[in-house]
Each structure stands twice: as C-alpha cells, then as structure tokens.
Structure 1
Amino acid sequence: MIDSLKQYPAMKDSGVSWLGQVPGHWDVRRMKLLLREVDSRSISGKEQLLRVSQYTGVTQRKSVDGSDAADTRAASLVGYKRVMPSDLVINIMLAWNGSMGVSRYDGIASPAYCVYRFKPGAMPWYYHELLRLPLYKGRIKTASTGVVESRLRLYSDDLGRIEAIQPPPAEQAAIVRFLDWANGRLERAIRAKRKVIALLNEQKQAIIHRAVTRGLDPSVPLKPSGIPWLGDIPRHWEVMPLKFLCRRIQNGATPSTSEQRYYENGTVPWFGPSSISSSIELGRPVRHLADIAFEDGKARLIIGPAVLVIVIGATAGKMSLLLGDGATNQQITAFELKSDRIAPQFGIQQLRTSEHWLKSTASTATIPILDSGVVNRLPLAFPTVGEQECILSALSNDTLPLNTAISRLEREIDLLREYRTRLVADVVTGKLDVREAAARLPDEAPLDTVEDDADLSDETEAADEEAIA
C-alpha cells in the first residue's frame, strides 16, 4: 500500500522558503492561530506525573519499584502543570531537539514546561508528528530565544510565530489514521528484531558469565567464592573488594548551568545516567565541560580506565566502562582501576553480574540510592592479569558471530527507523497523498509504539525538578 502512494495533483508555493511547496488546497498559518497556552496547576500533587522525551514524546513516569509513588526527586508536586489528553507539552529548554509531544494521558508535568491546547480545526496528533520532524526541529531552533544551544528556550511567543501547515481537518484525520497504521507495521517489525537481539544477547551473556567467573579450563579445581552471584570460582583466583583494586574513587558533580563558561568550547565529556546503557561501553556524553570547570572545583576529572556506577536514580546499579578521561554528574561514582591488577574489560564484565543484586540493596524511601559502602565493597574474583587477557581474547573470538548477527539486526532497525522518519515527513508535509489509502484501511487496535527503553530518557528532567523544587 505504501509503494502505491502518489503525489498530490496540484501543488503551490507555501510562501515559506524552508517549507517549500505544499498541496494546493492546504493553508499555512502561524502556530498562535492553531493553539493556546493553558496554565492550570495541581492543587494536590497526586495526579500521574508525566515526562517529555525527544524519543518517546509524553509518557507516564512510573516508579522504579512498580508502586504508585512518583518517580521524582521533587519534595512536592503541588503547583505542577495540569495536562489533559490531546494537550501539547513542550520542554522549553529542549524544544530544539524535539522534546515535545501530544499527551495521551491526564496528569501533571514540570512547571518548567509549557502546555498548549489546540483550537478547532487543528488535530493534535497531526501536529504531534509535524512539530517533531527534523524540518521543524531546525525551525524551532532558529525561533528559540538564546545565544548558545545549551541556553535556548522556546517561549510561547516564539512558538506562536512559527509557520505551520494546515490541511483540511478531514485530511489531517486521514493522515493520522494512515501513519498509525504504517507506524504499527514498522514497529512490529522492529520489535520482532529486538526479540531476536535479546535472545542473542542472552546467549552472549551466558558465554561471558562463564568465562569471567570460571575461566577457560573446565577441569580446573574450584572453590566457593562466598559471592552469591558468582558461585564457585577457580581455586587459584583471588577475591578482593573493588575499593582495593582502585587508584581513586570519587563522586561526580554538576557545574552550574548559569555559568556558561563551564560549558563553552568544552572538550571533556561529561556523562550522566542516560550515558549508561546495556552496553559495557559508555554512550554519548550529556555535555562537554571546559577546563575552567575543573580549575574552579565545580567538576572532578576522572582518569580512565574507570568503572562508572549509577548510585542515585531509577537505574541505580547499572554500570559502564570509561576508557579515557571524563567527568560525571553527582548520580555516578567513578572507580579508577589499577590496570596492573585488573584488566578493565574483565573487571566490568564481572562486575556487571552484580547489577541486579546491587539494585536490590538500594533504599527506596523516595528515590533509589545505593550505599557507598556496599558499592565500595563489591567483591571481584580474578586471576593474574595475563590470564584475564587470555580470557578476554577467547571471549572476543567466541562472541564474534553473535556480535556480527546483533550488529546486522541493529542496522536493519536503524534502516526501518530512517524509513519511518522519511515516510512521516513526506506524508505530513504533503509530499505524498494518503487520502485514498487511509479510506481503505481496516479498523485495527492501535499499537503502543512507546519505546520501553530507559536509556532513552532525558537527562535534564531531574535538573528541571531540582531547579523548581
């Protein structure tokens, strides 16, 4: 059905250089004519807390332990902004990267956000797709107030001046219907590939776990390790607390964002919990810090190799390996390893076997927090560095076919996402006509396309709350 889509029979110049041509019967209007800001505040603070992400739009912030408690560090949610289904919620500090979306939920959002309600003739879910396009992200960035990227803000007046495409209401509905169907098909394909990746990762982790806890020789004599998640280990291996295998242990810090000199022309990567995923290697840094941040004592330089452990927050217990130099925020503790005792890759692979146990020890009164003493005393079982390197070399060979298969599937998922982005852009901007296709679609239950990946959450949410708490 997608392959049979055609262009509109008549196009016209939109009158806006960055929009180009649009279908002849579509209008172009300022956003201020399509929506209005609403500012209703919570009296009780008991409503469902919502979050806004550039990846997943507006979602519910669920407590890490599955309870009804709010997943937040704010002392109170009284005064948070009320959000109704079909309202547009925008993180004004990150609007330029797409941190906005239409809500499916009744709830509350950070007072640092803006909430808008669409006027008659503007279908919320059409504009949800339109405003999150790369094309519109660029326009929003130029419309935002501020000098440098990290200080950009999209205020209501800025949003109101942005030009918006307006198809007839019935056509907006047809576009939303078609995209729901197409996104459902693509999401099912992506989820099927994710399931295969999960199975391959399980197989890979089983190989890794055996190697870093038993070594390569299956006939080697064993002894009890006294460590629940390790079990028996080779008799000649040592067991030692993590803190004795480190050159230095330190917590991170966050330089004030109001001091732009700490971030301008920064070269040192600064990591947060969102940088730590299921991979042993660190993901993207949240920001980069300038040398002056360290000279003023507002940040602490980590000399790699170091194990970074999240000690505060919903993902407490997760860890990754920093090979070079860097810095972290205060939710992360860095353990700079003694490389003459522990091969960094061996250390992180074994330590990650403790993640579930470590998370279970976190306090859950308000937000999960790990006891520093417990983390410092995490036991490591290890042979000589030479034997560790042999184990790592064997693991590299044994897991190569699995890594190749996983990489291929991940690339296929990336291609599906790229195709989805291009399809959405072509449909909502009038490059493809979906009216007939939408009319032929069967009625189907919508697929929940929100990605359940905590690694995609926005690092700045906690900072927003701390600023207003």
Structure 2
Amino acid sequence: MIEGLKPYAEYKESGLPWLGRCPSHWSVRRTKILFHERVQKGFPNEPLLAATQTKGVIKKDDYGTRTVTAQKDLHLLKLVEVGDYVISLRSFQGGIEVAHCRGIISPAYTVLKPSQSATSGYYSHFFKAKPFIDSLSLFVTGIREGQNIDYERMSRAEMPLPCEDEQAAIVRFLDYANRKIDGFIRAKRKLIGLLNEQKQAIIQRAVTRGLDPDAPLKPSGISWLGDIPAHWEAKRVKQTTRILRGKFSHRPRNDPSFYDGKYPFIQTGAVARAGKFIASYKQTLNEKGLSVSKLFPSGTLVMTIAANIGDVAILTFEACFPDSIVGFVPAGKLDRDYLYFVFLCMKDELLREAPVNTQGNLSIERIGTMWIPLPPLLEQEQITKYIETETIPLNTAITRTEREIALMQEYRTRLTADIVTGKLDVREAAARLPDLPTDPAGEPFTDEVLGYTDVLDEIEPEES
C-alpha cells in the first residue's frame, strides 16, 4: 500500500518550527482564516456530547458515558454543530476531534467551526499529527488540568493548506490506510479476547473448585459461585479482610495546588491498565494533597468502585488514592494473591451490585457483605501458584500481541504525520486505490477497539 511513496519534488520553508519544510506549492494560512471559534451557549435542550478518540464527538447516550451534567448547568455548555472540531487540553493525546452530531459540550472545550476551504476532511487527519498536537501547548492558559486553549493566540498561528484536489487525495489514502490498520488491530484484539477467555476459565475453575477434580462438593449457597469443595468455607469479604476507602476530600479534584510533590497518586484508569501489579505512576501529590488524601502501603490490593467498576491490581509502592478506589488488607487466613484472583472472577457480580444510577458507584458496605470461597490457607497458596504457572504462556502471547498493536499504532501515527505535513506524496498512490465500502451504519469508519480508554476527558465523576 505504501510502496513507492516518495517525497515531493520541491519544498520550501514553512516558517513554522514544528512543521519545517512543506511542499513548495502548498499554502500556509492563519488558523482564523480556516477556523472560527464557536462560542454559542444557551441550548439546554440539545443532546449532551462526549469527545472520544475512536468515534470523534458523539452523543453521550451513544457512548454510554458515566457522568451526567446537572440540569441547571446545561445552558452554560457550548453548542457544537456537525463538522465542527472540539479540543481541550485533556484531548492533546488524541488531537482535535470532529463532531458527527449536533449537541452541547463542556465549556472546557474550544469549538472550531471550519471555513469552506477546511471542510474536505483533510484536517480530521491533520489534527491527529503529533507535531501539530505538540504545538498546541503554545496556546494554553492556566495550569495543569485547569488549562484551556486560548483561541485568540491559536487564531494567529499558521497551518498548511494543500489545494482541494490534494486534500481529497490525502483523505482517500489515509481513509484506506486506516481501514487496513483498523482491520489488523481488530483481529489482534479478538485474539487477545480469546486468550483472556482461556485465562479466565483457568482462574474460574481453580478458585471455585480447587485443584483436586475428585474432591467432594457441597452447595455454597452463593449464586455466582455454585458448588465448592466440601472442606471449603464461604465467608463475607468483611470477615476476611480490612477494607480501606481511598480519600480526596477537596473538590474539585484537579486543583493544581495539590499536585507535583513526592507522593504517588493513582486514579481508576491506572488500575484498569495495570494488569496484576501497579508498577508506575504519572501523578504525584504534595504535602497539601496528602492532607486531603490517604496513603496506602505497598502491597495493598486495590479495587475501583466508580468509573470502571471492579478492576483490581496490587500496589508495588506507597501511593495515595481518591475515594473511587478501595484497598484490601487480608487477615491471616486469606492470601492476598488468592483474593486477587477471586475478585477477577467476581467482576460481573461486582457490576451487578453497583446501584443503577448516573454513576453506578459500588460502596464499601456492599463489597463487605459479598461472599467469597475460602479454602485452607495452604490450598489458597497452591491455587495461586497453579494459576500463575498455567497462565504464563497465555500472558506471554497477550503481551506479544499487545506489542504488535502498539507498533501498528505507532506506524499509523508516523504515517499520518508524514502525509498530512507533506513529507510523503500520495497523489498517484491514492488514484490507484480501489473504492472501499462505507460503514453499514452510515457513520465514519473508526475502530472502536483502539486503545484502552475511549473518552478523552478522563476525569472521574465527583461523588457526593
């Protein structure tokens, strides 16, 4: 598909440090010529929108978002029309996202209305180019999560503008390339799903039936558990472990004065991405932040009880957590790693226990009253060792496949940047490409399985 792609014959200096040289026949225009800021508010009856990395800007109902804006604040949200672009500092990783429906969105976003010369779809790809995304840091105001795009400053900056025919060629080529890349990633994600199903089957069998296939069984009286070995017990979580609630009593949680100290701060997304162990962190609290939070000891088993409910991991260093995470310190008759595997099997049960409301938070009280199987301590340790041994080849295959996906995503990022900034000429290649069918749903074709987290503004819901 990319064989034979070459640079353009002639280049010129663009005058933009992040862009460098661009094709000599390309124009460079100020942002305000290409995009106008849309600042309309007062449309409380329009649907709420969410910015996603895989589907652009869509209705929150379609996405299944976990937060709801208070009715009284709806008139403060910004209007977004189909074809507009939205951006906030939280979306830098994904670039600027295009809107596929009309609605309203948080005032933290900057909404850009394209002019006629910017409606071809070229900028949907251009806004994904890492050099451009990095340049957005020049146009922000505020500190940390409180930052927003300053449109007045951004409007004076310049962007490349290929001619319309060339924009169309770039869009055609990248749409085709992305379709192929999406197919590759989808197949790899499907493989990972199958491997995880095999892992789950091994874990489920071991923690509910033990390692002896001939052991006599008895009814556990627990719906999700079924029969268990006759010599096992079934106990409530609160009878076997001490439960520690995370804490962050200040609102808003993203107040920058609490951050950039020496205390690691872990939120729900980090737990979801961690695997078994949390081995790194991106945020830290200072002494002021520690005063409104709680420090968990290394080795604590933690679980998310809001946002992505029921994800579990083990902490490998001291860290603070918000109140959307709880920690477990098992008593002497419960092995921590065995409890970790039990919780993995209880994910569906944990979700069922979460109340059906706008946030679906799972309370400590509900977790504490839930039942778990409890073999003798030595048998728990044997079960843990068995699971870890049996799942080694599956974990290896999953890690290898995830790396293949990451490499393909890196390739996509580099290819997109090289093409939309004029480093590669795709005009002839695009003309030779076959037509591809459109999405049956009639929506832009994107891969819903790209990445682990779809919502760009990854902010946990505030709790009352």
Normalized against structure 1, the TM-score is what? 0.88
Q: How much does 1:430 deviate?
A: 0.5
Q: Which residue of 2 aligns with 1:203?
A: 198
Moved more, 319-328 or 229-238: 319-328
Alignment partner of 1:234 is 2:226? no
Contact 1:246 1:335 in 2 (8 A): no
Distance, in Å, in 1 between the alignment partners of 2:273 and 2:36 is 38
Alignment partner of 1:406 is 2:398? yes
Change beyond 3 A, Cα 1:460–1:254: farther
Moved more, 397-406 or 205-214: 397-406
Q: Which residue of 1 aligns with 2:26?
A: 26
Alignment partner of 1:306 is 2:312? no
Contact 1:274 1:459 in 2 (8 A): no
Distance, in Å, in 2 between the alignment partners of 1:132 and 1:274 is 24
Contact 2:56 2:100 in 1 (8 A): no
Moved more, 189-198 or 156-165: 156-165
5 Å-filtered alignment, 1:88-103, equals 88-91=85-88, 93-98=89-94, 100-103=96-99
Change beyond 3 A, Cα 1:273–1:42: farther
Contact 1:29 1:166 in 2 (8 A): yes
**Number of residue-to-residue matches in the alignment:** 456
Distance, in Å, in 1 between the alignment partners of 2:274 and 2:60 is 21
Q: How much does 1:348 deviate?
A: 1.6
Contact 2:246 2:293 in 1 (8 A): no
Contact 1:86 1:125 in 2 (8 A): no
Q: How much does 1:149 deviate?
A: 4.2
Per-residue Cα deviation, 1:94-119 (whole angstroms, up to 9, x for no partner): 25444531112222211221211111
Instruction: Give the 3-state SS of the residue equivalent to 2:149 in structure 1.
Output: coil
Match of 1:215 among 199, 210, 216: 210
Per-residue Cα deviation, 1:41-63 (whole angstroms, up to 9, x for no partner): 3534342x222245664343237
Distance, in Å, in 2 between the alignment partners of 1:59 and 1:306 is 38
Contact 2:46 2:102 in 1 (8 A): no
Q: How much does 1:263 deviate?
A: 0.2
Change beyond 3 A, Cα 1:369–1:46: farther
Distance, in Å, in 2 between the alignment partners of 1:250 and 1:382 is 23
Distance, in Å, in 1 between the alignment partners of 2:438 and 2:3 is 22
Q: Which residue of 2 aligns with 1:73?
A: 68
Q: Which residue of 1 aligns with 2:247?
A: 252
Match of 1:451 among 410, 428, 448: 448
Structure 2, unaligned stretches of length 5 or more? 440-444
Match of 2:117 among 116, 121, 124: 121
Per-residue Cα deviation, 1:295-316 (whole angstroms, up to 9, x for no partner): x3x1122224334333334x33
Instruction: Give the 3-state SS of the residue equivalent to 1:408 in structure 2.
Output: helix
Per-residue Cα deviation, 1:309-365 (whole angstroms, up to 9, x for no partner): 33334x334443334322222333x13222633222211211222221221233224
Q: Which residue of 1 aligns with 2:442?
A: none
Per-residue Cα deviation, 1:93-148 (whole angstroms, up to 9, x for no partner): 325444531112222211221211111212363222222322112211133234x5
Per-residue Cα deviation, 1:138-170 (whole angstroms, up to 9, x for no partner): 211133234x54443321113213321111122
5 Å-filtered alignment, 1:163-178, equals 163-178=158-173
Match of 2:381 among 372, 381, 389: 389
Distance, in Å, in 2 between the alignment partners of 1:62 and 1:284 is 33
Change beyond 3 A, Cα 1:454–1:427: closer
Contact 2:249 2:293 in 1 (8 A): yes
Instruction: Give the 3-state SS of the residue equivalent to 2:113 in structure 1.
Output: strand
5 Å-filtered alignment, 1:142-157, equals 142-146=138-142, 149-157=144-152
Deviation above 6 Å: which 4+ runs of structure 1?
A: none
Change beyond 3 A, Cα 1:284–1:188: farther
Contact 2:7 2:423 in 1 (8 A): yes
Distance, in Å, in 2 between the alignment partners of 1:38 and 1:409 is 42
Instruction: Give the 3-state SS of the residue equivalent to 2:257 in structure 1.
Output: helix
5 Å-filtered alignment, 1:39-438, equals 39-41=39-41, 43-47=43-47, 49-53=48-52, 57-62=56-61, 71-76=66-71, 77-91=74-88, 93-98=89-94, 100-123=96-119, 125-146=121-142, 149-253=144-248, 255=250, 256=252, 259-273=255-269, 275-277=271-273, 279-282=275-278, 285=281, 287-294=283-290, 296=291, 298-313=292-307, 315-332=308-325, 334-338=326-330, 340-438=332-430
Q: How much does 1:5 deviate?
A: 1.4
Contact 1:250 1:335 in 2 (8 A): yes
Q: How much does 1:186 deviate?
A: 0.7
> Percent same amino acid at aligned positions?
36
Distance, in Å, in 1 between the alignment partners of 2:457 and 2:175 is 29
Moved more, 371-380 or 444-453: 444-453
Distance, in Å, in 2 between the alignment partners of 1:454 and 1:216 is 36
Whichever residue aligns with residue 104 of structure 1, its letter is H
Moved more, 375-384 or 317-326: 317-326
Instruction: Give the 3-state SS of the residue equivalent to 1:394 in structure 2.
Output: helix
Moved more, 448-457 or 434-443: 448-457
Instruction: Give the 3-state SS of the residue equivalent to 2:358 in structure 1.
Output: coil
Q: How much does 1:408 deviate?
A: 1.7
Instruction: Give the 3-state SS of the residue equivalent to 2:295 in structure 1.
Output: coil
Q: How much does 1:421 deviate?
A: 0.9
